[in-house]
Structure 1
Amino acid sequence: MSFFGKLFGKDEQAVRQLKHPMDLRVGDMITLDDSFALPPQLRGQQLRVEAINTYEYEHSHTPEFVLKGHSAEPIYMGLEQDDDTWLTFSIKLTRAQVETLFDLDAFAEIFDAPGNASLSPQPLTDANASHEQWLAQTYHQVTFAQFGYFHRQDYRQGKPPQFTDSNPGEAFEAYSLMNGEEDKAVDIEVYQDGDTDVLLTLYRPLSDIRDYWPGE
C-alpha cells in the first residue's frame, strides 16, 4: 500500500494481468501485429472485446470473442487446439459477397452428402479486393453437417446448459472447407430457422496478439 493509500485508508487496486486470449473479458482490448501477412482488417488494429459467445459440440465447447475496432464490421476470434494453440480470425460475408466470390452451383455442392466438395474463388474485382488475403486458391471439404449449439453467453467456466429449457442455445449444422496449408477456411453455419452464416477464416499464431489491455 502506498503512503496515500495508508493516509486515506484505501487499497490500491491491482491491475489485472492479461497474457493469453483465454484471459480476455468484455471491455478488454488487444493490439495485433502490423505484419503484411495479415489482411488490412487485422493488420496493426486495436480491437475491443464486445461480447463472448460459445460454440458447443458433442464433446467440446469453445469461446468466440466478438471484436470491434475502427470498422463497423466485427471480427470473430476463436482458439483452435491441436498440437499447438492457434488463433482463428473470421469475417462474415453477405449473400451478395458470397455470390460474387464463389460460383453458386459449386457452393451448393458443399451441402450434398457425403461432403466431398471442392471450391475455388472466382476472380476478384475491385469491389471485393479487400478479401484477397482471406482467400485461398482452392479449398476441400473437411466438415459435413456437424451438429452444434450457439450460445450468446460465455461458458468458459462451466458447461453450457444444452439440455435445459432455460437456455438451450441455437441449434445449427456446421460445414467447413480448408486449403491444403490448413491456414485458411470457409466456414458455414446453417440454423434451424434457415439463417445461414458464411465466414472466411484465417488460422494464425498466438504471437499475432502483440499487446493486451485490460478494460475497466
Structure 2
Amino acid sequence: MGFLSGLFGKKEEPKRQLDHPSKLDKGDMISLDDSFALPPQLRGQQLRVEAVNTYEYERKQQTEWVLKGHGSDTIFLGLDEDDETYLALSIKVNRGLVEQLFNLEQFSAIFEEPGKAELTTSELSPELATEFEQWLSPQYHQVTFAGFGYFHRQDYRGNKPPQDADGPTGDPFESYQLLDDDEDKAIDIEVYDGGETDVMLTLYRPLSDIRDYWPGA
C-alpha cells in the first residue's frame, strides 16, 4: 500500500467553491459586467478583495468587502438582503466632491431632527457627469437618522464581535441614509467620534452583475 500511495501521490484537495458574493474572502477576485448600465468605476472591472470588515448594529451585522482593481478607486461591496438579495456597491466621496454634488444647506439638514431631509443633486459639470452621473439620482429622501453601530476592521461572519469593554469593541459611529424614489441608489453617511465623516454613493445592483469569481486560495 505504501508503494502504491507513493506512486499515485496524495489526492488533490477539492478547490473552494466560490459562486456567491457572501462567500468572498480576502484575496478572491471577481469580474463585473461590462454593461453600460454600470458606471465607469465598475464597468468590466476585475476587482480583488483587499479586506473584509463588519458593521455591527443592535439587531444585525453586515459584512463589507473592500475591493480594488486597476483604477485608483476603492469599491465597497455589501449585500442588501430583503425579499431578494442585491449587491450594494459604493464609492467614497470627499468633502470637496460633496460640495460640488449637493446643496450644502440641504445636506446639513440630514443631521438635524426630525431626520426627514430632502436632497437635490446639483447640476454637474461635464467632467463630474462622466464620473458620477450613474451613481446619482436627481432627488433623495432620508430614511435613517443617527442609527448607532460599531465598525470592525475584521471579518466576523458566523461570530459575534467581542463585547468585552476592555477588548477591541470597534469604532462607534452614527449612520444616516437617503434613498432615491426607485430605491436603487443611496447616499450612506457615517459619522465617527471626533466628527470624522464618510460619505458614500451607493448603487443597488443584481447579483448577476458579478460575471465571474476566482478563489484566491
TM-score, normalised to structure 1, is 0.95
1:160-197 residue CA offsets vs partner (Å, 9 max, x unmatched): 11444211000000000000100000110000121000
Q: Which position in structure 2 is the counterpart of 1:16?
A: 16
Whole-angstrom CA distance in 2 between matches of 1:19 and 1:75: 20
Q: What is the CA distance between 1:156 and its match in structure 2?
A: 0.5
Q: Which position in structure 2 is the counterpart of 1:131?
A: 132
Q: Which ranges in structure 2 are unaligned for 5 or more consecutive residues?
A: none
1:115-136 residue CA offsets vs partner (Å, 9 max, x unmatched): 0100011111134220000000
1:39-86 residue CA offsets vs partner (Å, 9 max, x unmatched): 111111110000000001110001000000011221000001111111
Does the CA-based 8 Å contact 1:162-1:169 persist in structure 2? Answer: no
Does the CA-based 8 Å contact 2:54-2:152 persist in structure 1? Answer: yes
Q: What is the CA distance between 1:5 and its match in structure 2?
A: 7.9
Q: Which amino acid aligns with 1:190?
A: V
Secondary structure of 2:205 counterpart: strand
Task: State the aligned residue count.
Answer: 213
Q: Which position in structure 2 is the counterpart of 1:116?
A: 116
Secondary structure of 2:149 counterpart: strand
Q: Which position in structure 2 is the counterpart of 1:194?
A: 195
Secondary structure of 2:14 counterpart: coil
Q: What is the CA distance between 1:89 and its match in structure 2?
A: 0.2
Runs of 4+ in structure 1 over 6 Å off? none
Whole-angstrom CA distance in 2 between matches of 1:55 and 1:63: 6
Aligned-residue sequence identity (percent) comes to 62
Q: Which position in structure 2 is the counterpart of 1:101?
A: 101
Whole-angstrom CA distance in 1 between matches of 2:158 and 2:7: 39
**Does residue 1:143 correspond to 2:144, yes or no?**
yes
Does the CA-based 8 Å contact 2:41-2:73 persist in structure 1? Answer: no
Does the CA-based 8 Å contact 1:186-1:198 persist in structure 2? Answer: yes
Q: What is the CA distance between 1:6 and its match in structure 2?
A: 5.4
Secondary structure of 1:53 counterpart: strand
Whole-angstrom CA distance in 2 between matches of 1:114 and 1:6: 72
Q: Which ranges in structure 1 are unaligned for 5 or more consecutive residues?
A: none
Distance change (3 Å), C-alpha of 1:58 and 1:163 = farther
Q: Which amino acid aligns with 1:44?
A: G
Whole-angstrom CA distance in 2 between matches of 1:5 and 1:104: 71
Whole-angstrom CA distance in 2 between matches of 1:102 and 1:19: 38
Secondary structure of 1:107 counterpart: helix
Secondary structure of 1:193 counterpart: helix
Backbone CA RMSD of aligned residues:
1.4
Whole-angstrom CA distance in 1 between matches of 2:158 and 2:72: 30
Secondary structure of 1:42 counterpart: coil
Q: Within 5 A, what are the aligned runs for 1:24-173?
A: 24-129=24-129, 130-173=131-174
Whole-angstrom CA distance in 1 between matches of 2:128 and 2:37: 18
Whole-angstrom CA distance in 2 between matches of 1:96 and 1:127: 15
Does the CA-based 8 Å contact 1:5-1:11 persist in structure 2? Answer: no
